[in-house]
Amino acid sequence: MEVFSEGEFVDVQGVSKGKGFQGVVKRHGFGGVGQATHGQHNRLRAPGSVGASSYPSRVFKGMRMAGRMGGENVNVQNLRVLKVVAEKNLLVIKGCVPGCNNSYVIIHK
């Protein structure tokens, strides 16, 4: 624990919380199709058009669609070390540490 000192900045790497299968509004911030009135029935949170018709007759790679969200490696930079408790091998870090409770993280200087 002598590696870290109070007040310095560190980078924390971990696996983010998994959110499961999410739609395009939560996953990519889409706004839905049009207004909520004038005949709209079930398209408020739909992605809308995803590609052209006869040409190129396919959907391009990388099209933002619904799918699994979270559960990715995340590196959060410049988090401050508030306290070092060497007797208990504890680091108190201020900021958004990635991952769920009791998960492993890697701390870089």
Residues 31, 59, single domain; the answer is yes
Q: Which residues contact 19 (CB under 8 A, 6 or more apart)?
A: 26, 68, 69, 70, 71
- Residue 79 sits in which domain range? 1-17+71-109
Residues 87, 104, single domain; the answer is yes
Contact 83, 6 (CB under 8 A): yes
The pTM assigned to this predicted structure is 0.78
pLDDT of residue 4: 94
pLDDT of residue 37: 75
Residue 5 sits in a domain of what CATH number?
2.40.30.10
Which runs of consecutive H residues, i.e. helices, occur in 1-109? 24-28
The pLDDT averaged over each successive group of 10 residues in the chain (109 residues) is 90 97 95 77 85 92 96 97 94 96 95
pLDDT of residue 5: 94
* Calculated CA dihedral for residues 15, 20, 21, 23, nearest 10 degrees: -80
pLDDT of residue 72: 96
Residues 38, 2, single domain; the answer is no
Residues 50, 82, single domain; the answer is no
Residues 27, 62, single domain; the answer is yes
